[in-house]
Structures are given as C-alpha cells and as structure tokens.
Amino acid sequence: MTRVTRFAARDPGPAARMAGFLAHLRAHGFKLGVGETQVALSALTHIDAARPDDARRALKCVCTGSAEDTAQFDALFDSFWLNEGRVRSRVKPSDTMQSRPNVRSSIEGDGPQSGSAGAPHAPDGGDGEAEADGMGRLVASTVTNLMKKDLRDVVSPQDIAAAEGIARRLGAALRDRRSRRRRAANKGQQIDFRRVIRRSLATGGEPIALPRRSRPDRPVNIVALCDVSGSMTVYARVFLAFLAGLMRADPATDAYIFHTRLVRITQALRDADAMRALNRLTLLSDGFGGGSRIGAALDQFARTHARTSVDGRSIVLVLSDGYDTDPASDLGDAMARLKRRGGRIIWLNPLKSWRDYAPVAGGMAAALPHLDHFAAAGTLNDLAALEPELARL
Amino acid sequence: MSWQDLQLSMSDQGYVAGDDLAMALHIALSLGRPLLLEGAAGVGKTEVARVLADMRGTNLIRLQCYEGLDASHAIYEWNYQRQLLAIRASAEGGTTGRAVEDRIFSEEFLLERPLLQALRKDTPPVLLIDEIDRADEEFEAYLLEILSEFQITVPELGTIKARSIPMVILTANGTRDLSDALRRRCLYAHVDYPDRETEMAILRARCPEIETQLGQQIVGFVQSLRGEELEKTPGIAEMLDFAAALMGLGIADLTENPAVLQATLTTLLKTRTDRDNIAPEVAQRLAGQAA
C-alpha cells in the first residue's frame, strides 16, 4: 500500500510533482486548469499529507468533477504516487476521441477507424460484407467500406429542394415556443418595474410610461445524426436530402453522419451550391455504406461535440435502423450520456413503418428508454407526416 | 480540526458521513471553496448542509432551484413600491435629478434574496443551493461570480463584496450535466448509497432504541431492495421511515408477518409500478435473505 513512488533526485520539488500529477490526470481526460494545481497544493496544507489515504481523498475532491472522474481517480492516483508502474500499467484512456476534444472532422483521423487509402480492415474481426445472412435477416456489418460512393448518384439537387421545404416545416414545429425568462419588450404580460421606476424619475414619480416584459421565443438548435452504414443505404437518399434541407433552412442546426466513425458534415451541407455540397459530402463520407458502429459513434458524439452543441434547448435527431455491431450496452450507455446533456432525443427509424416491427435489435432496445420520441421515417412523405407529432413534444 | 474530528462531530449531530465526504467537507471549509455534492436522490446531500449549520451554530440559507429561476428571485430585487414613494416624497421636498436617483438606487432600497443575504451576514452562514441541475444554464452563469469572487455586481449600485465567506454547498442529482465552468469553481464529492455498515450506523444514530436484530434485517432488506429494478430507489429517509413504521407496529422480525411487511412497503416504494414489481413473494424472499 505505502510503496510511495520514489522520484528522481533531480525532481524540483512538491509543486512540480503536483503539476506533474495534474498533467497526468489531464492526459486521462480530466478537465483541469492551472488554478487547480494551486488549490491542490493548498488543500494538502490542511491535512496530514504524509498519509497516502488522506492525500488521496483530499486530491480527489479537488481534482474530480463528475461521477466518472471519481471512478477513475483511484487508479490514476495509484499509478502516479504509489509506484504502480508509471510506465507499465498506466490506465488506458477510454477509447474514442477523449484526448482530442476539439476534433471537428475525423478526416485526418489516425488509427484503425481512419478508413483512408490502404489495406482494408475489419475493426471487430468480422469476416466479410454481411449485409444479410442466409436467414434473410438484416445484420449489421463490421466492414469499413472502402469503395468511394459518389453521392451525386444517391441524392439529386431536386431531392434537396423538396426536402428543404419539409425540413423548414419540421424545424418550425420543433422550435421552442416560450422561454421561461422574461426580457424587456414593448408588449408583454408583465410590467418591467425596473424600467418603470427609472422612467418615472423624469416625471416626478408619476409612472406614465409602462414598459413591459415578455417571454421571448427562443430557438431550439437541432442536431441531426444520420446513419449511412450498409443497412441504411436505401434510405440514405431521403435522409441526406433531409439533412441538407435542414441545414439550409436553419443556421442553428448541426449535422453528422456515421458508419464506422462519426463525421461532421454541417459545413459541407451549407454550401450555397447544392451540387457542390454533394461533392464535398462525397469527399467527407469515405466509408459510406460500410459497417455500423452506432454505439461508438454516438459515444464519441456525446463526449466531444455534444459538450458544446447540446444543451437543455437542443433536439438530437438520430436517423438510424438501430442495427449495431457494437455490444448493445455501448449504445445504451452512449444514449444515457447524451440524455444527461439535457436535450430531447428523437429517433427516426425507417424499419418502424414495417408491419409487425418490434425494436428487438439489441441496440435499439437499449436506446429506447432514453428516447423522447421514437417514430418511423423512410420517405420524405413520412418525414412530412411527422410534423404534428413533433409539434406536440 | 482534522477531517476525522469533523466526521466525529457530524456523527454527534446524527449524520454518519463517509470518509470521502468528510474529507471533501474539511477541505471545502479550510479553503473556503464551494462544494458540489452529486448523487442519487435520498442519499442525504441536503442533510449535510443542515447538519453543518447546526454544528457551527449558524444560519442555513437555502435556495431551491427550479427552471426559470432568475436573478430577481435568487440574488436581489429593487423595492419598487418604496422607490416610487421616495421619488414622490423628494419631488414634494424639492430634491430632483441626480440626488433622487442616487438615493433610490442605494442599498436601502435593495431587497435581499437568498444569495445576497448569504453574502451580507456578519457570521458566515451555510448557503445551500439545492438541486442546481433543475435550474437552467443561465442561472449557472449567475452563480459563477458569486462562487468564485464571493461578490455580486448590481448595475445601479456597484459591487457588493461578501462580509464573510459563506460555506456554500451545491447539490445535484446528475439528471443534467453541469457546465464545466461551474464545476471548476467547486470542489466535488460524489455521494453514494451507504454500504451496509454505514447504513446500520445511520439507523442506530437516528433510532437508538431499535433492536440490533431488527435493525440488521431492515438494513439488509433495504440494501437488497436497491439491487432490484426500481423506478425510484429507496433512499436513507425511506429506510428510516420503514424502520419507524415497523417499530410503531411492534414488529420484532421482518419475516413474521408477510401482510404487515407488504403494508409497510409503502414507506419504501413510492410508485405504482415499483409496488407491482415487488410482489409479496419477492418481498418475502428479500426479507428471508436479510434475516
């Protein structure tokens, strides 16, 4: 227990060691600034710092900020201070993109998910394109599709124009109607006393003008995540057109596609020229029609982009059939994490319109408890028909 | 005072704090920094603040958060009626212009709401900001200045600095992620459901007259009930209600009367689905395991 790490003789002292420890935590995804080092050092002056358990508890309350941090902290503390092999058994940072939180596009991605030119690979050890097996069931495929697909074959600018109208209407249906906060306005239910008093100074305490406060409408930002894996290829035309329409109808939206990895396509879709937008999308969507790793993609989204773009006034729109090659629990965890950001989650599943469809695919079943709305959507007409349902949310 | 002393004096007040929690409180008190307590409902987060206030013999100022909570309810508000009267009075008295304005926007006309109240006490109070995740992001932003600088800026008046640094406790259920800015200003402790020994100690502290055997059965029963699939997991307060109900009915053994056990489950299970999930047989099995 008390095999305390022996630091090298040239070690410059406790302050530097503490800075080293904080850097060690930061490298494992803790959100810590420079100020925390100072706080950590002063916290140690209030306890018996020579006792490892006391020091551990004190540093724990300074350095952690969430239940996840707390769960990770003990192992990280041991590895740094208690000689648990700083080099050997370093705790592996959880996968996905934690160490690169500001990734906007994974084009420059390295590692097995990059899907760049080169040898084909099967991330989960899958063996071949398994879009459907002998039983006639749809199964999720694990293979990254390296064939480039020209999206101009999939979506036409006319589709986008049609989808834009629908997206505009849906977007309007999803707008938050009222804010809870009031703001100064010419008309409104409440009198703005602060301004009344100020104005009445000029009239000797006679409140002649009665400025008011109202609850302004506040926009909801929509974040759409579209599955473009092999099993979804037939619906890609509709959904990509829909996304393009959504992006063009409303500047406060964000769009991503995922197959075996997650790609942000917002900028590409906003291109003023619909044809050029598709071109840019083709370049981005390397791996289109390949395997599906919904759990990993959504988890990555929840950990990176969602931290800045999803809050209590967001709607996350997931367009996917729910066939996932990752374990179902991954998807459940990712959805729970996403839900904690406070937004509403709507899942549109093209298969739901099938007769006798039940969400039994492991991933779909795991995601269901976290959804605010689960609806069918396979064609543009289906999407248009969603308007009244979404307005009610 | 070391953290063990703090733990001891808290248990004198009837609060059994885990080591991590006691240390977090000790550091928060020593450094004068806010402490964010996160954990499921019913693990005793709010109670920490009450016990702390009792222990230090100071006031507990509580701000319950809700969606749409804004500065005029949480921080300060001008007393508009008095301001209007004052303007009329000074108009009749002949004072006008700058002098009136200075007068009506002075501290005299400021109504204190909980946060300002906490900063203006001479003896440092305990400020409890309860269920911060129910408030929206805007309200978190209001808190940033107060929690890091312990000051409030009123546009008409200037900056009001704290007379004494209050001990601030924030609680959250983890239903919504708090902003990183807010988390960074606070120390953090995650409060979990207590383990068997701790829960037994809590029960003994709150109901000293309980028989050891019944106490152990109650704690064992509640602990295994928490392992079941429930919508609302029973917390510590529920466990204490359950114990009080059983003692009131004069039960000495959980397994002796299934009908009474089922009836007293109302203290633990607060939704209909949970009641349906824990059928009499399930309750009997859990009670049997606990016995």
Please report whether residue B104 resides in a domain: no
Q: Is A70's CB within 8 Å of B188's CB?
A: yes
Chain B contacts in chain A segment 88-127 (CB below 8 A): none
Same domain, B24 and B47: yes
Residue-wise DSSP of B45-109: HHHHHHHHHHHHT--EEEEE--TT--HHHHTEEE-HHHHHHHHHHHHHHT--THHHHHHHTSGGG
Please report whether residue B90 resides in a domain: no
Strand partners, A212: A185, A191
Bigger pLDDT: A141 vs B227: B227
Sort B199 into a burial class: Cβ within 10 Å, 0-12 / 13-18 / 19+.
Answer: buried
Please report whether residue B71 resides in a domain: yes
Q: DSSP 3-state assignment of A103?
A: coil
**Does residue A350 register a pLDDT over 60?**
yes
Chain B residues with at least one Cβ partner in A under 8 Å: 2-3, 19-20, 23-24, 26-28, 30-31, 33, 35, 38, 67-68, 70, 78, 80, 83-88, 91, 96, 100-101, 104, 136-138, 174-177, 180, 183-184, 187-190
CA A286, chain centre distance (Å): 20
Strand partners, B37: B171, B189
To probe the interface with B, which of A201, A218, A221, A339 has the most B CB atoms within 10 Å?
A: A201
Q: Place B55 in a pLDDT band, splitting at 50, 70 and 90.
A: very high
Q: Which residue of B has its CA nearest to A36?
A: B184
Q: Is B91's CB within 8 Å of A205's CB?
A: yes
Chain B nearest-CA distance from A33, in A, is 8
Mean pLDDT, all residues of chain B: 89
Chain B contacts in chain A segment 62-81 (CB below 8 A): 62, 64-67, 69-70
Q: Is B87's CB within 8 Å of A205's CB?
A: yes
What tokens does A251 get?
């500047």
The Cα B194–Cα B190 span in angstroms is 12
What tokens does A40 get?
């950590």
Q: Place A117 in a pLDDT band, splitting at 50, 70 and 90.
A: very low
* Cα–Cα separations (whole angstroms), residue A166 to A146, A177, A384: 33, 19, 6
- What's the pLDDT at A147? 46
Q: Is B68's CB within 8 Å of A180's CB?
A: yes
Residues 6+ apart with CB under 8 A from A342: A310, A311, A312, A314, B176, B177
Same domain, B259 and B159: no
Please report whether residue B239 resides in a domain: yes
Q: Place A242 in a pLDDT band, splitting at 50, 70 and 90.
A: confident
Chain B nearest-CA distance from A386, in A, is 27
The answer to whether A263 and A300 are in contact (CB under 8 A) is no
pTM score above 0.95:
no
pLDDT in tens, B120-169: 999 999 999 999 988 888 888 889 989 988 999 998 888 999 999 999 99
Q: Is B174's CB within 8 Å of A67's CB?
A: yes
Listed in order, strand segments (DSSP E) in chain B are: 35-38, 60-64, 76-78, 110-112, 126-130, 151-154, 158-161, 167-172, 187-190
Please report whether residue B153 resides in a domain: yes
Query: Which residues on chain B are in Cβ contact (under 8 Å) with A218?
Result: none
The answer to whether B232 and B274 are in contact (CB under 8 A) is yes
**Does residue A134 register a pLDDT over 50?**
no
Same domain, B40 and B130: yes
Q: Is B174's CB within 8 Å of A36's CB?
A: no
Q: Is B20's CB within 8 Å of A61's CB?
A: yes
Considering only CA atoms, which of B274, B189, B185, B279 is closest in space to residue B229?
Answer: B274
What tokens does A90 get?
């370093």
ipTM of the complex: 0.84
To probe the interface with A, which of B20, B23, B109, B142 has the most A CB atoms within 10 Å?
A: B23
Query: Which residues on chain B are in Cβ contact (under 8 Å) with A58?
Result: 23, 27
**Does residue B198 register a pLDDT over 60?**
yes
What tokens does B96 get?
């006008």
Candidate ranges A149-153, A252-256, B124-128, B208-212; pick with highest mean pLDDT: B124-128
Chain B nearest-CA distance from A146, in A, is 38
Q: Is B84's CB within 8 Å of A194's CB?
A: no
Same domain, B177 and B256: no
Q: Of the candidates A35, A43, A69, which has its C-beta nearest B27's C-beta? A: A43
Q: Which domain holds residue B183?
A: 3-75+113-190
Last residue in a domain, options B133, B156, B190: B190
The Cα B212–Cα B203 span in angstroms is 10
Q: Of the candidates A61, A204, A311, which has its C-beta nearest B27's C-beta? A: A61
Chain B contacts in chain A segment 256-315 (CB below 8 A): 307, 311-312
Q: Which residue of B has its CA nearest to A42?
A: B31
* Cα–Cα separations (whole angstroms), residue A371 to A21, A253, A330, A347, B232: 39, 20, 15, 7, 19
Same domain, B143 and B243: no
Domain total in chain B: 2
Q: Is A43's CB within 8 Å of B104's CB?
A: no
- What's the pLDDT at A85? 47
Q: Place A171 in a pLDDT band, splitting at 50, 70 and 90.
A: confident
Same domain, B283 and B212: yes
**Dihedral of the CA atoms B32, B38, B44, B46 (nearest 10)?**
50
Interface check A199 vs B, CB under 8 A: no
The answer to whether B46 and B171 are in contact (CB under 8 A) is yes
Q: DSSP 3-state assignment of A322?
A: coil
Q: Is B20's CB within 8 Å of A58's CB?
A: no
Q: Kind of pairing, strands B35-38 and A373-376? A: unpaired
**Does residue A146 register a pLDDT over 50?**
no
* Cα–Cα separations (whole angstroms), residue A38 to A63, A76, B29: 11, 19, 16
Query: Which residues on chain B are in Cβ contact (under 8 Å) with A53?
Result: 19
Residues 6+ apart with CB under 8 A from B149: none
Interface check A61 vs B, CB under 8 A: yes
Same domain, B164 and B276: no
Chain A nearest-CA distance from B24, in A, is 5
Same domain, B148 and B169: yes
Q: Which residue has the tokens 């919504």?
A: B176
- What's the pLDDT at A89? 41
Please report whether residue B103 resides in a domain: no
Chain pair A-B, CB pairs under 8 angstroms: 111
To probe the interface with B, which of A45, A180, A197 has the most B CB atoms within 10 Å?
A: A197
Q: Of the candidates B3, B87, B101, which has its C-beta nearest A47's C-beta? A: B3
Q: Output the domain CATH number for residue B132.
A: 3.40.50.300
Same domain, B257 and B174: no
Interface check A43 vs B, CB under 8 A: yes
3-state secondary structure A35-93: HHHHHHHHHHCCCCCCCHHHHHHHHHHHHCCCHHHHHHHHHHHHHHHCCCCCCCCCCCC
Bigger pLDDT: B69 vs B97: B69
Same domain, B241 and B154: no
Last residue in a domain, options B159, B190, B221: B190
Q: What number is the average pLDDT over the span B62-72?
A: 88
pLDDT in tens, A261-320: 888 888 887 777 777 777 777 777 666 777 778 888 898 898 888 877 888 778 898 988
The answer to whether A28 and A91 are in contact (CB under 8 A) is yes
Q: Kind of pairing, strands A344-349 and A262-264? A: unpaired
Same domain, B231 and B186: no
Please report whether residue B221 resides in a domain: yes
**Does residue A157 register a pLDDT over 80?**
no
Query: Which residues on chain A are in Cβ contact (under 8 Å) with B104?
Result: 197, 201
Q: Which residue of A has its CA nearest to B191?
A: A67
Chain A nearest-CA distance from B40, in A, is 11
CA A353, chain centre distance (Å): 27
Chain A nearest-CA distance from B281, in A, is 28
**Does residue A3 register a pLDDT over 70?**
no
What tokens does B132 get?
């911060």
Q: What number is the average pLDDT over the span A247-263?
A: 82
Last residue in a domain, options B190, B206, B222: B190
pLDDT in tens, A7-39: 766 667 888 888 999 999 988 888 888 888 999
- What's the pLDDT at A124? 42
Q: Which residue of A has its CA nearest to B89?
A: A205
- What's the pLDDT at B112? 92
- What's the pLDDT at A107? 40
Same domain, B166 and B238: no
The Cα A239–Cα B87 span in angstroms is 63
Please report whether residue B85 resides in a domain: no
- What's the pLDDT at B58? 93
